[in-house]
Amino acid sequence: MQILFILIFMLLEVSSGQDKYLVYFKDKGEGDQFYFKKSNIELKLLSEFSKDAIERRKKVLGDEIFSYGDYPIYEPYLKELQNFGIKIINKLNWFNAVSCSLDENQKNVVLSFPFVEKIEKVRVFKSKKKFYDNGYYSLLEKLTNNYGPSFGQLQLSEIPEVHSRGITGKNVIIGLLDSGFRWKTHEAIQNTQVIAEYDFVFQDSVTANEPGDHPAQDVHGTMILGIVSGKKDGKLYGSSYDSRFILAKTEDIRTERRVEEDNYAAALEWMEKLGVDVTSSSLGYSEFDDSTESYTYQDMNGRTTIVARAVDSAFVRGVVTVTAAGNEFQTPWKYIISPADAKYVLAVGAVNPDGSIASFSSRGPTSDGRIKPDVCAQGTSVYTVQTGTSSNYTYASGTSASTPIVAGIAALLISHYRKISQYQVRDAIRWTASQADRPDTVYGWGIASVKKAIEYPVILRVYNDITLYKTFIRDEKIDSVRLTILTDYSNQVVYDEKMESDNFGIRFGASLFYSNLNFDDVYKFYFTYYSNNQAKREPSDNQLFYSLQLSSLKVFPPKKSLNQVSSFVLYQNFPNPFTDITNFKFDLPEQDWVTLEIYDVLGRRVKTLLKDVGLSRGSHSWLKWDGTDDNGNIVANGVYIYRFSSFQFNQTKKLIYLRK
């Protein structure tokens, strides 16, 4: 395709006053029939993606492993920019955009190109990435086991016992995005299995400090790496020390600790192509170098920032994404910071060694009302390597320190169940955390436990079979396990069989593909396990059951309040009629964007209670109306209509208001 422009466009002058911009394109060359052939494009993509990436995508996407977002940016568009002397810095296929430095004249000319959709200035954050010095944790000093002083931070999330069962993160790839990594010289991390590293600031393959770097450039990232990959017996063990690692340097701290959004997004795309299973970023920021371009709290909705959209793009491609909630609670900002606001990311808060919330840990919710953080881990007095030394260690505090612990938990879970999906990993970690039955905006679902997450039942599809697995990590030896499945309402037993044990002796499975279960129905179930000639039930309470649905491969926790919901339902408000306050309840079978508005009988909107708010799957009964309109005025007595709408469901009901 040949693109012609008038000669004046050839006369661009290079100005020293350049800023970094994202240039978005209108298409990916669909009009070029010779070029845009799906089979040819995807054949080329197959050669660009690693075997690990392809296998991970097949696990969650089936045979259609590529989508339009993966297709490369149309090369003639790039050449047109380059012909005008514009250097392309990062290519963001997921966004159909490139980043480049432009002066004002270049910006105006590029914006006039017919193939350019829009131009946005790349946001440059002031990094809030830092560790808090909370002093020396004396209790850890007394420990004499092989974990050394790192035992406590792992034990809070029940990691050492899982390690002792041989689950140490093998065959899992973790990607870290941070300030740099001096990993080749310290005794605890020099044997880390680094399979790739790249500096997105200077665009080379060295992530440790080089001439021109700030002396502290790689300090933070190196300490983070130690928390997840460290391995020095008697001194330090990381949360997933046998995993493989991809390292991306995305932050430049030379001047005002700069973090550029396009570097972060480009690093995620690069890691995803290399087959990363889990990404972890301790980037923490909430304001920009230029305060006039800062995001506001209202932008913390998972749909606005480049970094939030990037982590969700990685997630839907099968990557478990983990990020720090932020250290903002004692600042005027207080709330979580992007990308912790992303829809699918596991946002990690920080707790003290006793499990109490750390004073600095950012709070939720997101601006659209979703619960954040998701989970917490120890984030004060976390033992790790001291950057710039070969054998010294130090303590770190911050959500930066708790995040790699949770990333390691995700990796251990994937290591144990290689076919587990990113959705199942996220659900298992959240639904087994310490306050999973009462999530809030301080702890989220609570302190993460890898032991409980691995013990959580999971349904895996392997080729033409569907198997329900249950792992037991107990002191007692499990001799055998029986699975009993019942209909949800009539309590009729539809499956009652002994489960098969694998070579681990702790994991049991039951094939359900050829059972009589209807794939779309929801069933309840429990386990009976036998140890020392005693039969025990799981869940132990006879009134509690897990629930499952084969078509979605979902297992729901043994508490109805935790989302045992299989369909959209809008309930009648209560009380009705009402004089003071009335309550609304609705069920969501999956996360959705919800609007709930109240109209009078003439169809005029009176009150907006929710407007395009992202809500999690489950029963929601917290919404109230006090009989006032959007201006705060009390409405007249009478009949009103409340209208519920989401992407997938719409319904209206009547209510009656009778004020005193």
DSSP string covering 361-417, please? --B---TTS-----EEEE-SSEEEE-TT-SS-EEEE-SHHHHHHHHHHHHHHHHHH-
Contact criterion met (CB below 8 Å) for 273 and 50: yes
Does a structural domain hold residue 247? yes
Domain stops at, among 493, 521, 556: 556
Co-location of 543 and 613 in the same domain: no
Does a structural domain hold residue 95? no
DSSP state at residue 541: S
Q: How far apart are CA 224 and CA 503, in angstroms?
A: 34
Task: Please state, in angstroms and as integers, the Cα–Cα distance from residue 645 to each residue in 129, 373, 610, following that order.
Answer: 40, 26, 10
Contact criterion met (CB below 8 Å) for 21 and 107: yes
Does a structural domain hold residue 187? yes
Contact criterion met (CB below 8 Å) for 451 and 472: no
Q: How far apart are CA 33 and CA 119, in angstroms?
A: 27
Co-location of 592 and 447 in the same domain: no
Amino acid identity for residue 594 in this structure: V
Domain encompassing residue 588: 569-657
Contact criterion met (CB below 8 Å) for 339 and 305: yes
Task: Check which CATH number belongs to the domain holding 473 and give it.
Answer: 2.60.40.10
Co-location of 146 and 282 in the same domain: yes
Contact criterion met (CB below 8 Å) for 415 and 168: yes
Co-location of 355 and 496 in the same domain: no
Does a structural domain hold residue 15? no
Secondary structure of 507-538 in HEC code, one letter for each residue = EEEEECCCCCCCCCCCEEEEEEEEECCEEEEE
Co-location of 390 and 415 in the same domain: yes
Does a structural domain hold residue 73? no
Q: How far apart are CA 397 and CA 378, in angstroms?
A: 9
Paired residues of 607 in beta bridges: 598
Q: Which two tokens stand for residue 542?
A: 């006879």
Q: How far apart are CA 625 and CA 575, in angstroms?
A: 11
Co-location of 528 and 517 in the same domain: yes
Q: How far apart are CA 223 and CA 283, in angstroms?
A: 13
CB atoms within 10 A of CB 660: 4
Q: How far is CA 467 from the centre of its chain?
A: 26
Q: How far apart are CA 586 and CA 439, in angstroms?
A: 18
Domain stops at, among 525, 556, 587: 556
> In which order are the strands placed within the sheet that holds 124-126?
251-252, 258-260, 124-126, 287-288
Task: Check which CATH number belongs to the domain holding 604 and give it.
Answer: 2.60.40.4070
Task: Check which CATH number belongs to the domain holding 444 and give it.
Answer: 3.40.50.200
3-state secondary structure of 647: coil
Co-location of 607 and 470 in the same domain: no
Domain stops at, among 426, 454, 482: 454
Contact criterion met (CB below 8 Å) for 465 and 495: no
Co-location of 307 and 382 in the same domain: yes
Co-location of 376 and 291 in the same domain: yes
Q: Which residues contact 37 (CB under 8 A, 6 or more apart)?
A: none
Task: Please state, in angstroms and as integers, the Cα–Cα distance from residue 444 to each residue in 381, 400, 410, 566, following that order.
Answer: 21, 17, 17, 23
Contact criterion met (CB below 8 Å) for 228 and 169: no
| Helix (H) or strand (E) segment spanning residue 498 | strand 493-498
Q: How far apart are CA 570 and CA 188, in angstroms?
A: 55
Co-location of 262 and 384 in the same domain: yes
User: Is the bond into 114 cis (omega within 30 degrees of 0)?
Assistant: no
Nearest alpha carbon to residue 581 among 561, 618, 609, 610:
609
Q: Give the tens place of pLDDT for each residue, 67-89.
A: 999 999 999 999 999 999 999 99
Nearest alpha carbon to residue 427 among 398, 452, 403:
452
Does a structural domain hold residue 62? no
Q: Into how many domains does the chain fold?
A: 3
Q: How far apart are CA 186 and CA 231, in angstroms?
A: 10
- At residue 329, φ and ψ (nearest 5 deg) are -65, -30
- At residue 10, φ and ψ (nearest 5 deg) are -80, -5
Co-location of 461 and 449 in the same domain: no
Q: How far apart are CA 205 and CA 247, in angstroms?
A: 10
Q: How far apart are CA 518 and CA 507, in angstroms?
A: 25
Instruction: Provide the pLDDT for residue 459.
Output: 97
Q: How far apart are CA 195 and CA 203, in angstroms?
A: 17
Strands 582-588 and 458-462: unpaired
pTM of the model: 0.81
Angle between helices 261-274 and 51-61 (to 10 degrees): 90
Instruction: Provide the pLDDT for residue 260.
Output: 80
3-state secondary structure of 230: coil
For the chain, list residues with pLDDT below 50: 1-16, 133-145, 256-257, 560-563
Does a structural domain hold residue 91? no
DSSP state at residue 571: P
Nearest alpha carbon to residue 629 among 644, 640, 614:
640
Co-location of 441 and 484 in the same domain: no
Contact criterion met (CB below 8 Å) for 297 and 339: no
Does a structural domain hold residue 104? no
